Structure 1
Amino acid sequence: MMGRLVLIGIQEENLSYMHKQLIYIFKELIEIQVISLKELHAASIHSTDTVLLSGAAIQELVRPFVPPSCMCIIAERMINVVNLREMLALDENRNILVINDNDTDTMETVKSLRDIVPQHNYYPFLTDKRIPENIHLVVTPGEQKLVPLGFPVLIDIGPRVISIDTLLKIKRKFELLIEDSLLMQLYIKALVYLSERPPEIRNENTDSQNYGRTFENFYTHSSSMNNARDLTRKMAKTNHYMHIEGEVGTGKRMWAEMIHNESVFSAFPMSVYNCSDKEPESIKRELFVERLNQMEGGTLFIKNIDQLPYSLQGRLAELFLNPLPNLRIITSTVVNLLELVEREQIRMEIYSHISSYRVQIPPLRERKEDIGLLINNFKTHFKKESLVFSPDVLEAFTRYDWPGNVRELYNVVSYCVCLNTNTIDTKSLPLFFKGQKQNTTHVIDVNYIISEIETHGFLEESIELLKIFKEGKERQKSFGRKTLKEILVLKEKALTDQQLRLRMDVLNRLGLLIVRKGRAGSTISKKGEEFIELYENR
């Protein structure tokens, strides 16, 4: 028996991308399991499995969880060359700042770009290094959140993919009867496929996704967290459906698991389904047919129900009205439920069912007294109890507001435990933390942005679009294309779907808009707001 291929990494977004590539190439030839480091435990990996690591840095962290009989393959990562169209169209000798999530990956990306597109000058964005002058644009492999404000042009070439050499190693390990030439063809097709379709959020398999966590073993120094825990434990003992609200990274999935383990449903499995970034037909099939048919009882945790298409929310309401025997449904959202109803992203009938059994998880910035406790928990998980964080680092952690909450703290600590050091000082902190306090903003080049928009011949319409988005943001509203077209007609600036899409694509590429799919709508970025203000005050 060949066993499974188990892909392990830290960042879930990159894992999802790599998983999609592996599925496209190997399809049903190999059983593929994806596990993030925070999900890894003693029973995660079987003795017959082959482990694929997203990078060499996590090898020592993973080793204690891997049976000696398992083979470990470290994935070599490469740029998706299909995503280099914009770079190939640039004038030569551009000064390009390259940004990735750590120094090692940044240098690897720079090397790949110099090999593939050698006609430009590449500068890595490194820890404690000043940004060179006269940068024309920024290139990043899927790490837009790390890009400092003010750069006129950003090209996101998408997350790096698994190299053909690594795929050949997997082929040999599993003794697959695929010619190397065919594997290369599948590799190229996968690159095209990934460039056209962003990866859907990974949904865990349909086996029980219960790691045994309970409120009994949940410790906190925060009074608000204690209150939330006590209220939730009382609700957990009922058989009513429940709803969890909390910002990204606050631990909603863990909370749902602890509810399950203190409920009358604890003898049954727990299943998790994420509605984010999925096509309506996929949700309809996976959630309302496959997942429900496979569950004979237990807890079904449905994450991000605000991403559930309006047309399918009626199906969820039916489940609340006519619950299946021995099945509890727990839902979650990042945004306050009432606010979502007012935005018409959640149907009132769903709100009426779950609003009375709702719990709110405080963000980390409101319970900073728990930071030291959380760090110790993470060090224990990684078996790195001897790692010491300096007083300066702990002070920096306390000052910081943690927009990514506990997940962001976990990512910082997991980065630190990968370093070959016993003490973490401020110089050791990763770019995605230190970048928040560096003075790396650039003055927006208004004339450059204007010239870029005018290249496409629609400056007046683009300025009007940005003003509409700015006014919407001030009223806490985002817009889809249908609403935008209606507003533009009222302003006597009617556009076709294709014309509107082209203008929004250009504004998005310049970093002036945040374009989102579905009912979430698009909105203006901070850079876009600053540009409009500078444009109007010229």
Structure 2
Amino acid sequence: MVCAKVNIIAIQERYLETITKQVKEVLGDKIIINSITVKDLQINTVKSGDIVVISNSQIKGLVTQLIPKDCQIIIAKRDINYTNTRELLKLPPGQHILVVNDNKNNAVETVQSLREIVFEHDYQAYLPEETISKTIDYIVTPGESHLLPQGLSNVIDIGARLLDISTFEELVNLLKIEYPKSQIVKRYFKACVSLSCNYNTEIKSSKDIQNVAQYHFEDIISVSKSMNEAVKLAKRYSMDSNAIHIHLEGDPGTGKSMFAQAIHNHSNMEKHSFISVNCNSRNFDIVENELFGSDYGEEASYGVFELAENGTVCIEEIGELPLSLQERLLRTFQEGEFLSSARNEPMPLRCRVITTNSKSCKELVKDGLFLQELYNLLSDNSLKVPALSERMEDLVPLIDNVKQRIKRSDIEFTNEVITFFKEYNWESNVKELYNVITYLSFLEEDPIGMEFLPFHLRSKTDEKKFNKINVNNQIISSIEEHGFLDESIEILNTFYEGKKIYASYGRKALKKRLEEKGLNLSEQQLRMRLEVLHELGLTIVRQGRAGSTISRKGEEFIQDYTKTKIYS
């Protein structure tokens, strides 16, 4: 039986890997799966008659422009992974929970799912433009904990949202797969367990081996001096017949793979094979078999060094390999031949080898993680791909390039957003920028202002908000330990009102003001409450007639607490 081909398309690579794994768990024996990010989608990527599953409705307009008209499209629906709700179920009912996701729509959708499933609690979606309740007990995020500032307490990660079961039912019906619904349900829950936070499994990238060099130097944006110099050096290496080993270093997301493909396409090897093997987070035995071949009786297979004869082999993240495998590569490069596991005999190395690494191999040598001799050999023809922060002259051209590729040249950004982009620390470099612009292009806003940026971009602003929540929760908890929150709030309010008229109060004057408000406390009770507020840094205690007053920290706390009461 010929399996149907299903193309899964999403914006973010990390999420694409997750739902691809899920689809494999449920229907992997019935279909052929091809995973594609929106930024990698091109005309002819999807073939006529294929099925297409897209991660959300926002990208449908673009996808339909780049796939054959006879392809049927399923717009995926998403839901939380039920197997990750254990911690929520353990909490006492009535908890106030802030839900943080990567954007507004996803945060709201997650809240809706939680209200339907774990209905015992009160949920609030984190929306930057709205006031956050300071009575938040917990923060919940569906696999986006990297968006939160470090050191927050009471954070529950319920794992990435998955495709819901109705999406699989739609896919099964469309493909006319003879599955009873009960079997789909069983496999669906198996996938939920497999992808749960507590299940020790590794999500493999669908791009561990790549057999196409689709990029050319013309595709590399190089307005800046640093990028121009890198491109010029790469072009020189590509045409140098003696440069049989080329090494590319650069931070994650800088475009090392793009450079490797451009070098191949600019060389006299252009018409021959380009095969890329990614070593990152993979089984080393598998990587070794892919490079040198394997011999399992009748199932012997050639390695890429043989398959790429007269072409190019790209070994991505070579620094991840163990020293034993580095030694085998070193011998291969030095001797110009390797032992083919498939043939069990020496074979000449007849291909160019490009290696890449995100970390400095020189530093890895110092740490004993990389062979000095191998580093020396690779250093002969090496270049560093600059980080985005080192080539900010390329920022606007890069943004324009993304808009052109996804056919959204009409979208505009406010000056504030462009300034923010130039000042933002793009940790994942061009890859992160491309993902962000692709996401923003699907928003129906013109122009796009700061309020529409993904949450993680506003990390500095968000960190202040989250830290304030954390600090205020700790203050409230500390006061409640002594059992008199309402009385302490009234004391702080009285101090705050007095400070506005430049008045401070000794204990007797404070006691009198509180009695006027209907709060009667004994001398001992008032002293105990004042001691706690002072220990928390909320008040300033002065001796004699100067009296006590509220501190700056106390002012901020009482202002936030008052706002919470108004909006909650």
Instruction: Give the TM-score taking structure 2 as reference length.
Output: 0.74
Aligned to 1:44: 45
Question: Could you tell me how far apart the structure 2 residues matched to 1:89 and 1:282 are?
Answer: 41
SS of 2:315's equivalent in the other structure is strand
Is the 8 Å Cα contact of residues 2 and 174 (structure 1) preserved in structure 2?
A: no
Aligned residue for 1:464? none
SS state of the match for residue 331, structure 1?
strand
Does 328-337 or 373-382 show the bigger shift? 328-337
Q: Deviations over 1:229-256 (max 9, x none)?
A: 1111111223412111111211111111
Give the counterpart letter for 1:26 in structure 2: L
**CA displacement 1:155-192 (0-9 Å, x = unmatched):** 22221111111111111222222222112111111111
Indicate the residue corresponding to 1:305 in structure 2. Answer: 318
Counterparts of residues 414-425 of structure 1 (less than 5 Å):
414-425=438-449
**In structure 2, C-alpha distance between the alignment counterparts of 1:447 and 1:409, rounded to whole Å:** 35
CA contact (8 A) 1:152 1:445 kept: no
Q: 1:214 — aligned with what?
A: 216
Q: Which residue in 2 is equivalent to 1:510?
A: none
**Aligned residue type for 2:235:** R
Q: Which position in structure 2 is the counterpart of 1:392?
A: 416
Note closer, same or farther for the CA distance 1:252–1:118 as it changes in structure 2 (3 Å cut): same
Q: Which residue of 2 aligns with 1:248?
A: 252
Contact 1:127 1:430 in 2 (8 A): no
Structure 1 range deviating more: 386-395 or 58-67? 386-395
Distance 1:111 1:307 in 2: 42
Letter in 2 for 1:210: A
Aligned partner letter, 2:327: G
Asked if structure 1 preserves the Cα contact closer than 8 Å seen for 2:142 and 2:157, the reply is yes
CA distance in 1 between partners of 2:95 and 2:323 (Å): 46
The structure-2 alpha-carbon separation of the partners of 1:216 and 1:65, relative to structure 1 and needing over 3 Å to count, comes to closer
Aligned residues of 1:203 and 1:274 also touching (Cα < 8 A): no
Q: Which runs of 5+ in 2 are unaligned?
A: 294-300, 338-347, 478-568
Counterpart in the other structure of 2:239: 237
Look up the SS of the partner of 1:313 in the other structure.
helix
The answer to whether structure 1 residue 181 and structure 2 residue 205 are counterparts is no
265, 270, 275: which one aligns with 2:269? 265
Q: Which has the larger radius of gyration?
A: 2
Q: Which amino acid aligns with 2:212?
A: Q
Post-superposition offset of 1:300? 2.2
Provide the C-alpha distance between the structure 1 equivalents of 2:17 and 2:86, rounded to a whole number of angstroms.
23
Distance 1:281 1:164 in 2: 36
CA distance in 2, matches of 1:97, 1:276: 35
Shift of residue 396, structure 1, vs aligned partner:
1.6
Deviation at 1:206, TM superposition (A): 5.2
Q: 1:314 to 1:171 in 2, by over 3 A?
A: farther
SS of equivalent residue, structure 2 residue 355: strand
- For the 8 Å contact 2:95–2:121, the answer to whether it is kept is yes
What SS does the corresponding residue of 1:111 show, helix, strand or coil?
helix
Q: CA deviation at 1:46?
A: 0.6
* 1:363 pairs with 2:375: no
Matched, 1:24 2:37: no
CA RMSD between the two structures: 2.5
| 1:108 CA displacement | 1.1
- Secondary structure of the residue aligned to 1:435 is helix
Matched, 1:351 2:375: yes
Residue pair 1:272, 1:302 contacting (<8 A) in 2 also: yes
What residue in structure 2 maps to residue 86 of structure 1? Answer: 87
Q: Is the CA contact (8 Å cut-off) linking 1:244 and 1:359 kept in structure 2?
A: yes
1:191 has 2:192 as partner: yes
Residue by residue over 1:313-358, the C-alpha shift from the partner in whole angstroms, topping out at 9 and shown as x without a partner, is 3333344233554322222111111112222232333312212222
Structure 1 pair 19–199 and aligned structure 2 pair: CA distance change class (3 A): farther
State the Cα distance separating 1:47 from its structure 2 match: 0.8
Secondary structure in structure 1 of the residue aligned to 2:465: coil
Using the TM superposition, give the Cα deviation of residue 201 of structure 1 relative to its aligned residue in structure 2, in angstroms: 4.1
What SS does the aligned partner of 1:388 have? coil
Cα distance change of structure 1 residues 286 and 28 upon mapping to structure 2, 3 Å threshold: farther
**Conservation of the 8 A alpha-carbon contact between 2:99 and 2:126:** yes
Shift of 1:101: 0.9
Q: Distance in 2 between matches of 1:225 and 1:414?
A: 23
Structure 1 residues 274 and 445 mapped into 2: Cα distance closer, same or farther (>3 Å)? farther
Indicate if the aligned counterparts of 1:3 and 1:48 stay in contact, CA closer than 8 A.
no
Aligned AA for 1:245? Answer: E
Amino acid corresponding to residue 317 of structure 1 in structure 2: L
Q: Indicate conservation of the 8 Å contact 2:305/2:351, yes or no.
A: no
Candidates 265, 276, 283, aligned match of 1:279: 283
How far residue 207 of structure 1 moved from its aligned partner, in angstroms, is 6.3
Aligned to 1:442: 467
- Name the SS of the counterpart of 1:42 in structure 2: coil
Asked whether the equivalents of residues 200 and 277 of structure 1 are also in contact (C-alpha less than 8 Å), the reply is no
Kept in 2: contact 1:242–1:354 (CA 8 A): yes
Q: Does 1:335 align with 2:359?
A: yes
Distance 1:379 1:357, change over 3 A: same
Shift, 1:299, TM fit: 2.0
Tell me by how many angstroms 1:414 deviates.
Answer: 0.8
SS of 2:364's partner is helix
Structure 2 contact 4–30 (Cα < 8 Å) conserved: no
Are the structure 2 counterparts of residues 277 and 120 from structure 1 closer, same or farther at C-alpha, using a change threshold of 3 Å? farther
Aligned mates of 1:130, 1:326 — CA distance in 2: 64
- AA paired with 1:412? V
Cα distance in 1 for residues equivalent to 2:443 and 2:208: 32
Distance 1:435 1:243, change over 3 A: same
CA distance in 1, matches of 2:8, 2:49: 14
CA contact (8 A) 2:39 2:406 kept: no
Counterpart Cα distance in 2 of 1:96 and 1:237:
59
Which of the residues 174, 195, 207 maps onto 1:204? 207
